[in-house]
Structure 1
Amino acid sequence: MATQLKPTMTSLEGQVSPEEWQARLDLAACYRIFDHLGWSESIYNHISVKVPGEKDTFLINPFGLLYSEVTASNLVKIDVEGNNVGGSPYMVNKAGFTQHGYFHKHLGGRADAICHVHTTATMAVASHKDGLLPLNFYACNFQGQIGYHDFEGITVRPEEGERLVRNLGNHSILMLRNHGPVVMDRTIQGMFVKMWALQRACEIQVATLSMGDPVMVPQSVVDVHQRDLSVMSGQGGAGMFDFEAWKRRIDKIDDSWRQ
């Protein structure tokens, strides 16, 4: 086992394909944005993204580093089984990649970018018997579009993967009951904006239920909301504007993620 938890890294810019370097930049930025927004969980949880132009290779955070320490060059390249295939000196929390790996392997482009978080609000909603309720603007985005998977303990057993995919169905968000959400998309930008809206929906639900007597949005209004949302979302490039705006924000705070 490596004793040096933070090896010195040289920049991989120019050492990998331009497509991989851009993916590294975007993923490193995503880790820093999550950390800035308070969505990190010590050294745990993951955001993973497929390496463009390569078969079954992915980028993920080095195990042992905080999200605030992730950079484009220290991201680890792994295969679908979680094995280090890029020569990185860092370890990977291979057990924690089990669920990501199964989604990446069996869902194709639907799951090129995946995050799993343990934020207080999303875990609280995942632990509520009714899950995400139609209580607010953001929650209406997701009604009928979330799968639920009963808690089976730490998700490290490969045989649970089949049940995870079955319970996800045709959706792109899976609420692991008593645990937290898995959010996926074809792009890291789309995954980010989906996670942002889900977090807001859950925060507002927790606040609303704490007051009692919530007002539920009827399904007929949810249907109209989702219809109009599908038209409006095209203007934002599936999260591109949001993601680029947050990259500008973290650049002003600390641009070391670009290294």
Structure 2
Amino acid sequence: MNKIKDNVSKEEWQTRVDLAAAYRIVAHYGWDDLVFTHISARVPGPDHHFLINPYGMMFDEVTASSLVKVDINGKKVMQSDYEVNPAGFIIHSAVHESREDAQCVMHLHTVDGIAVSTLKDGLQAYSQQSLFPLSALSYHEYEGVALNPEEKARLVADLGDTSFMILRNHGLLTCGESIADTFLYMFLLQRACEIQIKAQSTGQDMIKIPDQILAGIQAQAKQVTRSAGGALAWPGILRKLDRVNPGYAE
């Protein structure tokens, strides 16, 4: 820990701590998929360097010092005993490369998220929670395992300036100006998917939120999502981790 901490800026170390916490809170909620999804964060500073999980490490094991620092091509720029998943970084590098505001990118394979991604009509306005992602939601069609660099341009075009994306037959993606915001966006998107799948499973008729309410949210998309409270919730999340799974800041 001391070796890494002593060789990076205070800003990078704080980003490492927050990113490791994001991995662990995702594991706490049961949203991880063994070792097969990723959360990445831009390293503060002039270089286009990023932090991502060591491939093969479970999310609840990730620490600030174990995160791997890579360039935009996924090549390590700091000594590490760990490698990164090339398929995972193709998705993340596409977003980071095209969106200067995407300081953090979270991509998950949650059960309810994938379930909604297979529905022809996708996410619907069935809950208050759904209004936030529906205010800035995009879709990307499935092209197989993300190993083809040519897919990056199509993913970026589909993402546009949205903060929430449903990857068809694949999973969920959020991006934001901070790790705290990105996690909160995923929390809202995942919760909306959980509610929809649970409600649909009853087989009863569904009540949709009126179009005019959704239209009002969509008209104020940036204001709504940016005031969703990531920074407000994040300190409490760290306190929770300190109780249930400490050690992320090592």
> Aligning the two structures, in what range does the TM-score lie when normalised by the shorter sequence?
over 0.9
2:65 aligns with one of 67, 73, 94? 73
Q: Distance in 2 between matches of 1:148 and 1:98?
A: 17
Assess, with a 3 A threshold, how the Cα gap between structure 1 residues 233 and 83 changes in structure 2: closer, same or farther. closer
- State the alpha-carbon separation in 1 of the partners of residues 236 and 68 from structure 2: 26
Q: Who is 2:249 aligned against?
A: 258
Q: Where does 1:136-147 land on structure 2 (aligned, <5 Å)? A: 136-147=127-138
Going from structure 1 to structure 2, the CA distance change for 1:20 and 1:233 (only over 3 Å counts) comes to same
Residue in 2 that maps onto 1:207: 198
In structure 1, what is the Cα distance between the partners aligned to 2:80 and 2:210?
51
Kept in 2: contact 1:147–1:167 (CA 8 A): yes
Aligned pair partner of 1:180 in 167, 171, 188: 171
CA shift for structure 1 position 232: 7.3
Alignment equivalent of 1:216, drawn from 208, 213, 219: 208
1:148-186 Cα deviation digits (max 9, x unpaired): 111111111110011101111221122110111111011
Q: Alpha carbon RMSD of aligned pairs, Å?
A: 1.9
The alpha carbon displacement at 1:225 in A equals 5.0
3-state SS in 1 of match to 2:79: coil
In the alignment, structure 1 segments of 5+ residues that lack a partner are: 1-8
1:150 aligned partner = 141
Q: Secondary structure at the match of 1:98?
A: helix
**Unmatched segments (≥5 aa) in structure 2:** none
Tell me whether 1:189 sits opposite 2:168 in the alignment: no
Please tell me whether the aligned partners of residues 146 and 174 of structure 1 are also in contact (alpha carbons under 8 angstroms).
yes
Q: How many residues align?
A: 249
Q: Deviations over 1:177-231 (max 9, x none)?
A: 0111111011111101110011110000001111231111111122345678977
Secondary structure at the counterpart of residue 148 of structure 1: strand
Match of residue 34 from structure 1: 26
Q: 1:129 to 1:77 in 2, by over 3 A?
A: same
CA 1:91–1:10 in 2, change beyond 3 Å: closer, same or farther?
A: farther
